[in-house]
Amino acid sequence: MRKILDVISSDNGMKVVNVLFFLAAVFSRSWLAFAACGAWILWLAFCIRRTESRTVRTVYAVLIGIAAIAIGLNLYFLLRS
């Protein structure tokens, strides 16, 4: 379990999450966007639990809000069309 946590919090884990978020931006209004934003939210929540800096926690919380808004907008436009 410790090894998995180290991989997730490493630079490679950050790259995977960033690629997922980029794919969500490119393939908006699809199931991939929901999955990528969901994974990003989970990763940010994991990072909030691991960091001790209040500033970093605040930034991660704002990013979670942005991802939640992106999910909401994608859902709205998906259901509207």
Residues 6+ apart with CB under 8 A from 44: 60, 63, 64, 67
Predicted TM-score (pTM) of this structure: 0.70
Quote the pLDDT of residue 38. 84
- Output DSSP code: residue 9: T
* Phi and psi at residue 73, to the nearest 5°: -65, -45
Quote the pLDDT of residue 61. 92
Could you give the residue ranges of the DSSP H alpha helices within 1-81? 2-8, 11-26, 31-50, 54-80
**pLDDT one digit per residue (tens) for the chain, 81 residues:** 677 666 666 667 777 777 777 766 666 667 777 777 888 888 888 888 888 889 888 988 998 998 888 888 888 888 887
Quote the pLDDT of residue 65. 92
**How many other C-beta atoms are found inside a 10 Å radius of the C-beta of residue 59?**
15
